[in-house]
Structure 1
Amino acid sequence: MWMNKKQKLKASYYNSFFALIVIPILCISLLSIFILRAQMVDSAVLNIRRAQDNIASVLGNEVKDVSLRLSHFIYVNDSEIVRNAARTNSHDPAEKYHYTQILTESFNYAMVPVQDILSAVFYMKSGDHTYMKSDIILNPDQLKTSQWYQEALLEPNVVKVGFYDYSVMNSRKNAYTLTIAAGLSPGPEVDREGVIEMAALFVSSQAGRLMKEYNKESMLGSAMIADKSGHVIFDAEDTKDLLPETITGDEREFSYRINGKRYMRVATVEPVTGLSIISVVSYDTLTSSFNRTAMILIGVVLFLFLLFYLFSSYFLKSIIEPIHNTVEGMRMVEEGNLEVHVQPKGQAELRLMIHSFNSMTRRFKTLMAENEEQQQKKHKAEIRALQSQINPHFLVNSLNSIRFIAQMSKYESIARMAEALIKILSGSFRSNNGFYTLKEELEVLDSFIYLMKIRYSDGFDIVYQVDDACLLALVPRLILQPVVENSIVHGFDAMMEEMGTIWIVGEKKEGFLFLEIRDNGKGMTREEISSLLSDNAKESERRNVGIHNVRTRLSLNYGEQCSFVMESEPGEYTRTLIRIPVSGKENET
């Protein structure tokens, strides 16, 4: 049975260990891996976009530059170059050669020799053409059917741009490069002789070389350029087969699969030409760094789990048996066996706990014995209290007999005094509840006033100003009588001719019952009031036990919710203010 419970405790520990440590760490690790993977992919895509932005910037600037160069070439010196180009359309070889040389010099002067300009060509309406700088390998028929050429014909004097994915020159150096072709068809106001169909400028783009450099970085993928329709116009690495079947310029990035392998396509649109810079990279390449990081993270997690397992094994062996012995000891104590003593074992903290348990058991045994002795004493005290209740009842019964005899002998004053004293004693000896209504309190007070008037020969009067709404409020019994008695005995003792008056005022306001007892007696000084209300004033307590009793009972019943304040002006008045929370008779328990 002990081994069974030990196995249950061990299983409970492992269940808690997996639920609170292993599973949360696994969840956090997996979440971290997913987040890290997404961040690495986003970072790789961001690097690709930066490279594409560089390519797009270079390409856009080159298109703007080649357009400005062609416009400048055509319109410089009031279109002098166009007039010279028109004169090369001659059947006289000498004249044609002469103006071709002039045209070439003008071209070199206007363009400023640079390496990226491949050639400049004037195409005549007669079918002839004139080359400057170098000849090109493009077939005239193929060239004239190009989109850029046709668009330029439709919009005279406007530069149109086209692209070729190879060099238009017979040069191995520029064999696989991007060539920009800019064309302008001069209108009648520019070509007054009307013989030139098209002026074209061919430039080798640096964007193509930049793409080749970026393609060397595997994380940047393979870059290519596509037109607005999605047709690839430049692909130096011949990777367009890795593109999906449909491509639109609006799709910035998305993933797809080809032949079971996952790829990421990232596209950036160049705003000047509307061309798309497209990069294709495999997910394996994008996540290669992530895979290494993930393996390291998994290795760290597994190492942590191994440490946790070793710690758990040590923890169980060092703690499980002492804890189980302590639990068994607690069970025996619960069954009433206080002779239990657990042998201290295990770690220092556990041994201290077991020592404390043994000490607690011994202390509990002692307390049980003391409690039994106290219960016996309490039982004896209750018997004495029951016996003491006979005395008040005896007094009340005796006064009832005196009242009966006085009534029979027609001594009404004695009978009324006995009746008043019976009411006061009945209120004082109530043992079932320390509260009654304010109405009952005033009735007891009336009996006391009656007796005091007989004693003082009607030397004072009492006035009640109590709202009817206050009469059912519950108050501690005999809280007014000691205060009124203080006014009669100490307030009116020095009054000779003036009639003493006591006012009793009661009202409810904001959930509190406010009681005021005011007299027109001799009053008290501040020192006398302080001495009267001081808990340490022994002499005052002997002279005013009633006041001290009232304050103590109010504090015990209501705490800080009540207040008892005395105010006085020597020779004029004394006023006592009592505030207690309102509670009705229907709430009495």
Structure 2
Amino acid sequence: MKRKSLSRQIYAYFLIVIVLSLVSVGAVSYWQSSQSLDDQVKQYMEQMVDSANYQTDSYLQAYELLSNAFSSNSDVRAFMEIKPDDAYEYYEYSDKIKKFAFASIESIVTLYKQLNMIYVTGQHGRSVVYENQNLFFNFDPVLVQEKFTNLMKMTPIDGKIALLNMSIRPADQGSVVTMARKVRGPSYKDENRGVLAFEIKLDELAKTWDRVSLGKDGFFFIVDDAGNYIYPRSMSERQPNDELASQVLTSGDQTFLSKYDEEERMFVSRKSGYYDWNLVASMPVKELRRPVNTIRTTTIIVGLITLAAALWLAFRFGRSIVRPIRELKDSMRETEKGNWQYIEDAGRNDEMGGLIHSYNLMVTRLSDMIERVYEAELEQQKNALELGESKLERQKAEFQSLQLQINPHFLYNTLETINCYAIVQDSGEITEMVEAMAFMLRYSVQTNLEEITVANELNHVRNYMIILQHRTEREFEIDVVIPPSLLLEKMVRLTLQPLIENIFQHAFPEGVEERHSIRIDARKEDGLFQVFIEDNGTGMMPERLAELRKKLEENRLAEPEEASTGTKRGGGIGLMNVHRRIQMVFGEAYGLSVDSEWGRGTCITMKMPETTRPRLRG
């Protein structure tokens, strides 16, 4: 199996972290800046349109006040009821209206430039027209009657003002907008007798709208509620109530995106507070997004430069970590061959320097130990020749015991080296498994069976569960309800963990599920110290339970052929062996008892004396 290079793994991890960081930060920054710029542009356009709408409403409100003054003027109302052929009466009221109009217009200087003409026309066919040049003249009766009929149709019957895209003079058509209202006679009770109208120059009023700065390709226009384009003149050539006008009327005061002349544009609409005009500002989306595109390009360039610099630093950092590890690996290979090779630590004070120091210390101790072993072996051979065969055999046994002590020591150091590798690679799972395995190994190789507490056995079970959970990649918690006062009670070594392992192998044959549980409890009763291990697994069939109880009564260790029956556990330590080992320590009155019900679970009870320390029985 080909090993993965640690330097490549470190470099790959750095690459993933850096790319994820840059992409996430860049994406979030780009998205937030885009949203912020879009909101600012939208807010700017809305403010511009609101400002134009406010000024337009102010102008139109001033005309509305002027219209109120005219419509309530007694001379204007009396003019509506003059006789069509009475020239003197017509002249008299025309003169009075002239003086009133001149005085009113001169008093409101702000309306002077925008006003094109004022005219009063009645159903009798006579009219008075005031132009901005202050001239009064009569229109052709047929023309006046035609305009009068249209005005009467288009103005509200209740006397409210209507804004109309028309002029009584063909030459002014399209360049003015007419503010008109119906006027009653002097009695206020008669029906509407005529129309009062103001023609306002769009060119003068447009100076207010032209202040709306919308960039190179932006523009401003006005649509009334009927879908007619009021301003500018270029828009008046479009068909009334076309797709764009319909979208404006449908959106109300909402901002929307739409295509105009094959270009995606943003439209901001505001309806006049006094009349049926919709003021609309439009800008191309690509122009709105130009700052965002600049930010995106800048972010990508800066991100690439940052990525290149970070990868170079990651390469240098990876080499600084991997180089001493490679030296350590090469030295360990030489040590395996019997060549005790030391590593120069070069004055390092970091974790890697500590690892090298530990390795050098291990090599020194192993070298000294092997040397002492050889010396002891030579001494033993010399003594064997002098003391005889019986003494030689005893020295050989002592030498074998020394070897048994050396081998675990070397294994512990090897596990510590693996743990160091795991720490360098930031692998918490490997670290946890190695530490649990080391504790279990140290606990298992001790040969004495006495002086073991419940707490020691529970700690051994905990290390076993750590390894089991990493092997199965599933978490499982054992419910320990033993009173704290019983945790220092004496029991036999390596008796609790084999029972837990037996449960996982036989009580849960289909694998551990969420409903499965294991419970450990203990109590003192009638001079006995009892430990209970319960599970809610499959349980045992009655015949299987009877067979197991019979074997427990026979007080014998498990034989190799019994492995197929399930009584053999973990290298020969099963239920039968645990039972017999308890009896060897405490006596044949103690051991295991089993209670089980098929489909309900099993309870295993460990019975031991309540007395002080146990005694080993021969």
TM range, smaller chain: 0.5 to 0.7
- Determine the structure 1 residue equivalent to 2:160: 159
Q: Please give the residue correspondences for 1:413-452 in structure 2 after superposition, counting only pairs within 5 Å.
A: none
Matches of 1:56 and 1:9, distance apart in 2 = 69
Which amino acid is the alignment partner of residue 210 of structure 2? Answer: K
- 1:64 offset after TM fit, Å? 3.5
Matches of 2:60 and 2:66, distance apart in 1 = 10
Is the 8 Å Cα contact of residues 167 and 178 (structure 2) preserved in structure 1?
A: no
Q: Please give the residue correspondences for 1:270-419 in structure 2 after superposition, counting only pairs within 5 Å.
A: 270-315=272-317, 320-329=322-331, 339-343=340-344, 349=348, 355-367=353-365
Is the 8 Å Cα contact of residues 185 and 197 (structure 1) preserved in structure 2?
A: yes
- Determine the structure 1 residue equivalent to 2:460: none
- Determine the structure 1 residue equivalent to 2:26: 29
SS at match of 1:230: coil
- 1:90 offset after TM fit, Å? 5.0
- 1:212 offset after TM fit, Å? 1.5
Task: Tell me: CA distance 1:67–1:434, structure 2 relative to 1, closer, same or farther (3 Å).
Answer: same
Matches of 1:476 and 1:365, distance apart in 2 = 41
Q: Please give the residue correspondences for 1:71-220 in structure 2 after superposition, counting only pairs within 5 Å.
A: 71-76=68-73, 79-84=74-79, 86-87=81-82, 91=85, 93=87, 95-110=89-104, 112-114=107-109, 115=112, 116-134=114-132, 140=144, 143-144=147-148, 149-152=152-155, 155-156=157-158, 158-164=159-165, 179-186=177-184, 189-190=187-188, 196-204=193-201, 208-214=206-212, 216-218=213-215
Which amino acid is the alignment partner of residue 162 of structure 1? Answer: L
Stretch of structure 1 that moved more, 116-125 or 179-188: 179-188
Task: Tell me: CA distance 1:196–1:127, structure 2 relative to 1, closer, same or farther (3 Å).
Answer: same
- 1:310 offset after TM fit, Å? 3.7
Task: Tell me: CA distance 1:179–1:12, structure 2 relative to 1, closer, same or farther (3 Å).
Answer: same
Matches of 2:120 and 2:237, distance apart in 1 = 34
Matches of 1:326 and 1:165, distance apart in 2 = 96
Give the TM-score normalised by structure 2.
Answer: 0.51
Which amino acid is the alignment partner of residue 14 of structure 1? Answer: Y
Out of 227, 232, 237, the residue aligned to residue 229 of structure 2 is 232
Task: Tell me: CA distance 1:90–1:475, structure 2 relative to 1, closer, same or farther (3 Å).
Answer: closer
- 1:33 offset after TM fit, Å? 1.6
- 1:15 offset after TM fit, Å? 1.9
SS at match of 2:5: helix
Matches of 1:90 and 1:109, distance apart in 2 = 27
Residues 278-327 of structure 1: CA deviation (Å, up to 9, x unaligned): 22211121112222333333332222123224434544565554443234
Is the 8 Å Cα contact of residues 222 and 237 (structure 1) preserved in structure 2?
A: no
Task: Tell me: CA distance 1:45–1:327, structure 2 relative to 1, closer, same or farther (3 Å).
Answer: farther
Which amino acid is the alignment partner of residue 55 of structure 2? Answer: V
Which amino acid is the alignment partner of residue 36 of structure 2? Answer: Q
Residues 1:41 and 2:38 are matched in the alignment: yes
- Determine the structure 2 residue equivalent to 1:537: none
Is the 8 Å Cα contact of residues 180 and 204 (structure 1) preserved in structure 2?
A: no
Task: Tell me: CA distance 1:364–1:49, structure 2 relative to 1, closer, same or farther (3 Å).
Answer: same
Unaligned runs of 5+ in 2: 374-396, 403-447, 454-485, 491-521, 526-602, 609-618
Matches of 2:290 and 2:487, distance apart in 1 = 84
Which amino acid is the alignment partner of residue 340 of structure 2? Answer: E
Task: Tell me: CA distance 1:97–1:245, structure 2 relative to 1, closer, same or farther (3 Å).
Answer: closer
In percent, how many aligned pairs have the same letter?
A: 12
- 1:122 offset after TM fit, Å? 1.1
Out of 257, 260, 264, the residue aligned to residue 266 of structure 2 is 264
Task: Tell me: CA distance 1:200–1:227, structure 2 relative to 1, closer, same or farther (3 Å).
Answer: same
Task: Tell me: CA distance 1:74–1:132, structure 2 relative to 1, closer, same or farther (3 Å).
Answer: same
Which amino acid is the alignment partner of residue 125 of structure 2? Answer: G
Which amino acid is the alignment partner of residue 107 of structure 1? Answer: A
SS at match of 2:31: helix
Residues 306-362 of structure 1: CA deviation (Å, up to 9, x unaligned): 3224434544565554443234445666x58682323557xx75x866654443123
Residues 1:58 and 2:55 are matched in the alignment: yes
Out of 205, 218, 222, the residue aligned to residue 221 of structure 1 is 218
**How many pairs align?**
387
Which amino acid is the alignment partner of residue 82 of structure 1? Answer: R
Task: Tell me: CA distance 1:35–1:297, structure 2 relative to 1, closer, same or farther (3 Å).
Answer: same
SS at match of 1:250: helix
- Determine the structure 2 residue equivalent to 1:14: 11
- Determine the structure 2 residue equivalent to 1:543: none
Matches of 1:318 and 1:433, distance apart in 2 = 50
Is the 8 Å Cα contact of residues 123 and 198 (structure 1) preserved in structure 2?
A: yes
Which amino acid is the alignment partner of residue 339 of structure 1? Answer: W
Matches of 1:378 and 1:166, distance apart in 2 = 123
Matches of 2:6 and 2:306, distance apart in 1 = 24
Matches of 1:434 and 1:302, distance apart in 2 = 66
Task: Tell me: CA distance 1:94–1:261, structure 2 relative to 1, closer, same or farther (3 Å).
Answer: same
- 1:229 offset after TM fit, Å? 3.9
Residues 444-466 of structure 1: CA deviation (Å, up to 9, x unaligned): xxxxxxxxxxxxxxxxxxxxxxx
Residues 441-492 of structure 1: CA deviation (Å, up to 9, x unaligned): xxxxxxxxxxxxxxxxxxxxxxxxxxxxxxxx99969xxxxxxxxxxxxxxx
Matches of 1:95 and 1:318, distance apart in 2 = 111
Task: Tell me: CA distance 1:234–1:360, structure 2 relative to 1, closer, same or farther (3 Å).
Answer: same
Q: Which one has a bigger Cα radius of gyration?
A: 1
Matches of 1:71 and 1:262, distance apart in 2 = 44
Is the 8 Å Cα contact of residues 221 and 280 (structure 1) preserved in structure 2?
A: yes
SS at match of 1:185: strand
Unaligned runs of 5+ in 1: 381-430, 437-472, 478-510, 515-583
Is the 8 Å Cα contact of residues 55 and 207 (structure 1) preserved in structure 2?
A: no
Is the 8 Å Cα contact of residues 223 and 231 (structure 2) preserved in structure 1?
A: yes
Is the 8 Å Cα contact of residues 225 and 278 (structure 1) preserved in structure 2?
A: yes
Is the 8 Å Cα contact of residues 38 and 288 (structure 2) preserved in structure 1?
A: yes
Which amino acid is the alignment partner of residue 81 of structure 1? Answer: V
Give the TM-score normalised by structure 1.
Answer: 0.53
- 1:217 offset after TM fit, Å? 3.1
Is the 8 Å Cα contact of residues 147 and 168 (structure 2) preserved in structure 1?
A: no
Is the 8 Å Cα contact of residues 223 and 245 (structure 2) preserved in structure 1?
A: no
SS at match of 1:202: strand
Is the 8 Å Cα contact of residues 225 and 278 (structure 2) preserved in structure 1?
A: yes
Which amino acid is the alignment partner of residue 250 of structure 1? Answer: T
Which amino acid is the alignment partner of residue 288 of structure 2? Answer: L
Task: Tell me: CA distance 1:315–1:164, structure 2 relative to 1, closer, same or farther (3 Å).
Answer: same
- Determine the structure 1 residue equivalent to 2:423: none
Is the 8 Å Cα contact of residues 178 and 234 (structure 1) preserved in structure 2?
A: no
SS at match of 2:211: helix
